[in-house]
């Protein structure tokens, strides 16, 4: 058989012939065909009345070598939908061929419409999270890196890709995926995006509840990597911890932002109008000096408010003259082990 020269044989439908070349998935033949027909093969290689086109056909039939050549040719519309409403990016998902992730990476360099929906409102990201093949995990990660807002899209039933990501067909599938570092990293990345974003749709709370309830698999597998990203599962799984955390946050806010004291109606301490512990000549060390300005009724009342009886500064009485009740020092002769031990008795 002679080598293909890139020309469509006479009396052969060019669209049909092009499909045959795609089916062979031969890069050399594809490039020759494109080079010969470039500029003349219009409408992005449309055939069958616009219902199918070359790039979508190649991706749908796992002809990823051809798909790469078509993308690099620059003559195809990357985001065009086929008759089922699926773009080439969507058609690359749900596939175990590693080439599908390479094609998806090339598609994401252009306008491939990653937010496009099909069928029941699902997107390429949702499809990746549903199938969870190795290439799908790579594609999902690339999609979230390109635009984190893709993670917040919901299908017609109100579910996001995050819901589908932690949904498993059976226990064996779950255990196998949780052993995969790429899968765990994708879960953490998706959860981090949700925790930093709008939580009004209830998806994050719903998913965190599932993780918390799965104490044997999901929670142990994701606990540490989530903590490294600043997400503490204890804050979502343990009610007692959440209460303590809320109180601690309030106290911290009060200390860091004093203006919150006014909002919370926290009274401010009165300034002490005298030098606490100041001594004067002629007064024993156990007594303390109280300046004359608080000996008047008003000043004394303020002193009494600051220091209740028996709670004055430096063991002063509070609410009365400076000094306190004289303490007697007695020896405890009854203790044979230490006859010199003393105790203060007031």
Q: How many other C-beta atoms are found inside a 10 Å radius of the C-beta of residue 317?
A: 18
- Whether 169 is covered by a domain: the verdict is yes
pTM: 0.63
Average pLDDT, the chain: 75
Residue 63: the pLDDT is 92
- Give the highest mean pLDDT range of 1-5, 65-69, 137-141: 137-141
CA 105/CA 103 separation, integer angstroms: 5
CA 17/CA 88 separation, integer angstroms: 21
**260, pLDDT greater than 60:** no
Helix, strand, coil shares, percent, the chain, to 5: 50, 5, 45
Angle between helices 181-196 and 203-213 (to 10 degrees): 140
- Whether 146 is covered by a domain: the verdict is yes
**143, pLDDT greater than 90:** yes
How does pLDDT run across 21-79, given as a tens digit for each residue? 888 888 888 888 777 765 555 444 545 444 467 888 889 999 999 899 888 877 677 88
Buried b (16+ CB within 10 A) or exposed e, 80-98: bbbeeebbbbbbbbbbeee
How does pLDDT run across 325-338, given as a tens digit for each residue? 445 555 555 545 55
List the beta bridge partners of residue 122: 118
**87, pLDDT greater than 80:** yes
Cα→Cα distances 177→4, 217, 224, 247, 273, Å: 45, 11, 17, 38, 69
- Whether 66 is covered by a domain: the verdict is no
In this structure, of 34-48, 86-100, 143-157, 162-176, the range with the lowest mean pLDDT score is 34-48
In this structure, of 3-7, 79-83, 95-99, the range with the lowest mean pLDDT score is 3-7
Q: Which residues have C-beta within 8 Å of that of residue 267, sequence separation ≥ 6?
A: none
- Whether 210 is covered by a domain: the verdict is yes
Contacts 24+ apart (CB under 8 A), 159-162: 159/126, 159/203, 160/126, 160/201, 160/203, 161/123, 161/125, 161/126, 161/128, 161/129, 161/190, 162/129, 162/190, 162/191, 162/194, 162/203, 162/204, 162/207
- The helix (run of H) or strand (run of E) holding residue 19 is helix 14-24
- Whether 225 is covered by a domain: the verdict is yes
- Whether 295 is covered by a domain: the verdict is no
Give the model's confidence band at 163: pLDDT under 50 very low, under 70 low, under 90 confident, else very high: very high
CATH of the domain at 156: 1.25.40.20
Give the model's confidence band at 200: pLDDT under 50 very low, under 70 low, under 90 confident, else very high: confident
List the beta bridge partners of residue 328: 345
Give the model's confidence band at 190: pLDDT under 50 very low, under 70 low, under 90 confident, else very high: very high
Residue where the block lists tokens 């932002």: 257
Q: Domain range spanning residue 200?
A: 78-245
- Whether 337 is covered by a domain: the verdict is no
Domain count, the chain: 1
- Whether 280 is covered by a domain: the verdict is no
Percent of the chain at pLDDT > 90 equals 43
């Amino acid at each position: 058989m002679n080598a293909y020269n890139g020309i469509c044989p006479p009396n052969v439908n060019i669209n049909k012939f092009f499909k045959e070349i795609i089916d062979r998935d031969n890069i050399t033949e594809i490039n020759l065909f494109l080079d010969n027909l470039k500029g003349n093969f219009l409408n992005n290689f449309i055939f069958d009345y616009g219902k199918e086109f070359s790039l979508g056909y190649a991706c749908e039939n796992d002809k990823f070598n051809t798909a790469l050549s078509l993308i690099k040719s620059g003559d195809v519309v990357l985001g065009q939908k086929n008759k089922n409403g699926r773009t080439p990016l969507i058609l690359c998902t749900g596939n175990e061929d590693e080439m599908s992730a390479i094609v998806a990476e090339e598609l994401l360099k252009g306008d491939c419409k990653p937010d496009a929906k099909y069928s029941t409102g699902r997107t390429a990201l949702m499809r990746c999270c549903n199938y969870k093949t190795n290439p799908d995990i790579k594609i999902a990660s690339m999609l979230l890196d390109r635009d984190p807002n893709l993670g917040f899209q919901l299908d017609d039933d109100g579910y996001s890709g995050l819901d589908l990501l932690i949904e498993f067909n059976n226990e064996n599938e779950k255990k196998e995926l949780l052993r995969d570092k790429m899968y765990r990293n994708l879960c953490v990345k998706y959860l981090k995006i949700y925790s930093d974003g709008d939580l009004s749709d209830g998806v994050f709370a719903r998913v965190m509840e599932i993780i918390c309830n799965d104490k044997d698999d999901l929670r142990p597998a994701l606990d540490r990597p989530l903590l490294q990203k600043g997400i503490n599962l204890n804050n979502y799984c343990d009610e007692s911890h959440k209460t303590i955390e809320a109180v601690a946050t309030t106290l911290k806010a009060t200390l860091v932002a004093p203006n919150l004291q006014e909002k919370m109606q926290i009274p401010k301490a009165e300034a002490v109008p005298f030098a606490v512990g100041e001594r004067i000549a002629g007064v024993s060390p156990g007594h303390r000096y109280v300046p004359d300005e608080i000996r008047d009724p008003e000043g004394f009342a303020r002193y009494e408010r600051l220091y209740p009886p028996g709670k004055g500064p430096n063991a002063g009485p509070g609410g009365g003259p400076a000094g306190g009740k004289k303490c007697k020092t007695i020896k405890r002769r009854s203790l044979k082990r230490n006859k010199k031990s003393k105790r203060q008795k007031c």
